[in-house]
Amino acid sequence: MAQLVQRMTKFGTAIFTEMTLLAQEHDAINLGQGAPDNQAPAIVHERAIEAIRDGHNQYAPGIGIPELREAIAHHQQHHYGITLDPATQVQASAGAAEALTASILALCEPGDEVIVLEPYFDVYPAAIELAQGVLVPLRLEAPEFRVDEAKLRSLVTERTKLILVNTPHNPTGHLVTVPELETIAQVAIEHDLTVITDEVYEHLAFDGREHTPIASLPGMFERTLTISSSGKTFSTTGWKIGWFSGPEHLVEAVGTVKQFLTFANGHPFQYGIAAGLQLPDSEFHAIRDRLWRQRDVLVPALEHAGFEVLAADAGYFVSVDVAPLGYDNSYDFCRELPAKAGVAAIPMIPFYTDASGAESLVRFAFCKRVEVLEEAATRLERAFR
């Protein structure tokens, strides 16, 4: 009888699934999985509904509908000054997740080394394993979670092929700064490496911070594949409309693999997201400001309850240390939390190759309505103070 291939056996059930089930079992407020309960601007929904009514219910073109590819090109030009040919330098994908897996399968030969910011989103190690590549972790150390130049340089070998960047960063909540991106760019150029960058939280930077795509740095466009998604910006994670863009040779390579994963997806939703990506800046700011307010409800509540708050610069998440509460293992803490407090969170241990020294880090999501976060705050305070 066939069995799960050996190299995938270590993955088991995703931590998001495990903690969501535990939250349901205890009727806990789920601040684990990054599932927003906001709504997109109305036009995003309306255009998708219209597209269903207009009969756009069969396969989309494999590379995505022209309206979406043009909207992505417009978005990159308008927000970042990056010029893309929508015919050859942009493709749609089944969320950022498919784009990530397709790009690693397309660009990583067996035995190639991929430098990944650690802690890392769970898709990355699984995709690298599928490609039979080697994940080389570049540890971001708490509390700052900055990219360290000497450490990065020490990891580059003859077999290094890719650097996988994620900013704003999941799970830490760190926004990778321009000097950090410049360091990565310099190393990539010196060693002729390709960069894959996952920027799904690009519009959600707080306190006046601005997201910078690494593709916009000098000399980087030609060697960077940029991945993003509509799910986080427009609170449409269930639609799974993502995309990848960059120089034609990289987009074509990734598209070659992508066409045999899903071929195409979400035809009517692509119309909705095409409309969303062309909204005026004020709409993007309103989306960011709402999440910023939500962060500003959860973060003080966590501090008040006794957690050491580490980072929440951007994205959906705040990382905390639970050691001050007497826990040295984030798994133990998160398995106990739903029953103890009626709240769920995500342990960061599974996002490390070797979590030594980071075992007590936990991620909370704040992509929930203020009243939900306030209730979570009350529960955490009751449980820990």
> Where does this chain bind ligand PMP (CB under 6 A)?
34, 95-97, 121, 166, 170, 198, 200, 229, 231, 237, 240, 242
Which lies closer to ligand PMP via its Cβ, residue 129 or residue 375? Answer: 129
Torsion sign (Cα): 350, 354, 359, 361: negative
Alpha carbon distances (Å) from 377 to 25, 295, 321, 342, 372: 20, 12, 17, 10, 9
34 near ligand GLN (CB under 6 A): yes
CA separation for the pair 13, 251 (Å, rounded): 31
CA separation for the pair 164, 127 (Å, rounded): 12
How many Cα atoms sit within 13 Å of 128 on the Cβ side?
23
Cβ 102 to ligand PMP shortest distance, Å: 12
Cβ 34 to ligand GLN shortest distance, Å: 3
Which lies closer to ligand PMP via its Cβ, residue 145 or residue 384? Answer: 145
Cβ 278 to ligand GLN shortest distance, Å: 25
Cβ 96 to ligand PMP shortest distance, Å: 4
Sites for ligand GLN among residues 159-188 (CB under 6 A):
170
CA separation for the pair 123, 126 (Å, rounded): 5
CA separation for the pair 164, 337 (Å, rounded): 32
Which lies closer to ligand PMP via its Cβ, residue 64 or residue 342? Answer: 64
Which of ligand GLN, ligand PMP, none lies near 166, with the C-beta cut-off 5 to 8 A by kind? ligand PMP
Question: Which amino acid type is present at position 36?
Answer: P
- Give the closest residue to 156 by CA, choosing from 112, 125, 118: 112
Cβ 6 to ligand PMP shortest distance, Å: 26
Which of ligand GLN, ligand PMP, none lies near 96, with the C-beta cut-off 5 to 8 A by kind? ligand PMP
- State yes or no: cis peptide before 143, omega within 30 of 0: yes
Residue in the structure block whose two tokens are 């067996």: 110
Which residues 6+ apart lie within 8 Å of 170 measured at CB? 34, 121, 200, 201, 315, 316, 317
Angle (deg, nearest 10), helices 42-53 and 267-277 = 150
Cβ 363 to ligand GLN shortest distance, Å: 8
Which residue in the set 22, 29, 30, 33 belongs to the binding site for ligand GLN (CB under 6 A)? 33
Q: Using CB atoms, what's the residue nearest to ligand PMP? A: 95
- Give the closest residue to 340 by CA, choosing from 26, 34, 32, 31: 26
Which lies closer to ligand GLN via its Cβ, residue 198 or residue 321? Answer: 198
Which of ligand GLN, ligand PMP, none lies near 64, with the C-beta cut-off 5 to 8 A by kind? none
Which lies closer to ligand PMP via its Cβ, residue 196 or residue 337? Answer: 196
Cβ 50 to ligand PMP shortest distance, Å: 23
14 near ligand GLN (CB under 6 A): yes
Which lies closer to ligand PMP via its Cβ, residue 65 or residue 97? Answer: 97
Q: Which residues are near ligand GLN by CB under 6 A? A: 14, 16, 33-34, 170
